[in-house]
């Protein structure tokens, strides 16, 4: 795969992250349809029954209801061949139900790393690690220091 393709894949990921940061659920859904293959394989456990691109829509719908000011700050992006890796800091204010927790009004900041495999210019497979432990501690759902 060429450097040009890796650059295009990074730009595609940036387009998706830009859509997420608008907080506009309709724009995010449309961008998912354009950026992810309909049958994208999601290798990260997600709390939804759907699969493929619909699972992505469901996950972001839940996140936006819980954290309407959700923001993904990209710290690092590395692209090689058909894969792009993104290390992010996610922030938001807990204003809606999330994983069984009533809104707390607390702010969260947590880390995540995603690896995306592209095929035909679209995301075909994802792997991710999200620091849910830190998230839950910051929301008061678990004891301990979030740091």
pLDDT along the chain (147 residues), means of 10: 86 97 97 98 91 96 97 97 97 96 98 98 97 96 73
Question: pTM surpassing 0.85?
Answer: yes
* CATH number assigned to the domain with residue range 3-138, chosen from the 4 options 3.10.450.50, 1.20.1070.10, 3.30.2030.30, 3.90.79.10: 3.10.450.50
Q: Residue 53: its pLDDT value, please?
A: 97
As a whole number of angstroms, the distance between CA 107 and CA 138 comes to 8
Q: Residue 3: its pLDDT value, please?
A: 82
CA atoms lying within 13 Å on the CB side of residue 86: 22
Order of all β-strands in the sheet with 83-93:
36-42, 122-130, 107-119, 83-93, 71-80
* Domain regions of the chain by residue span: 3-138
Q: Residue 143: its pLDDT value, please?
A: 84
Q: Residue 47: its pLDDT value, please?
A: 85
């Amino acid at each position: 795969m060429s450097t040009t393709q890796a650059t295009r894949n990074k730009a595609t990921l940036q387009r998706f992250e830009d859509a997420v940061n608008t907080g506009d659920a309709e724009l995010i859904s449309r961008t998912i349809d354009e950026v992810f293959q309909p049958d994208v394989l999601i290798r990260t456990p997600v709390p939804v029954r759907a699969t493929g691109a619909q699972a992505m829509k469901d996950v972001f719908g839940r996140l936006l209801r819980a954290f309407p000011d959700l923001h993904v700050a990209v710290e690092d992006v590395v692209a090689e061949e058909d894969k792009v890796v993104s290390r992010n800091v996610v922030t938001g204010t807990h204003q809606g139900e999330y994983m069984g927790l009533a809104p707390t009004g607390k702010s969260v900041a947590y880390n995540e790393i995603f690896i995306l495999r592209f095929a035909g210019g679209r995301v075909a497979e994802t792997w991710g690690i999200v620091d849910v432990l830190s998230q839950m501690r910051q929301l008061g759902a678990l004891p301990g220091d979030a740091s």
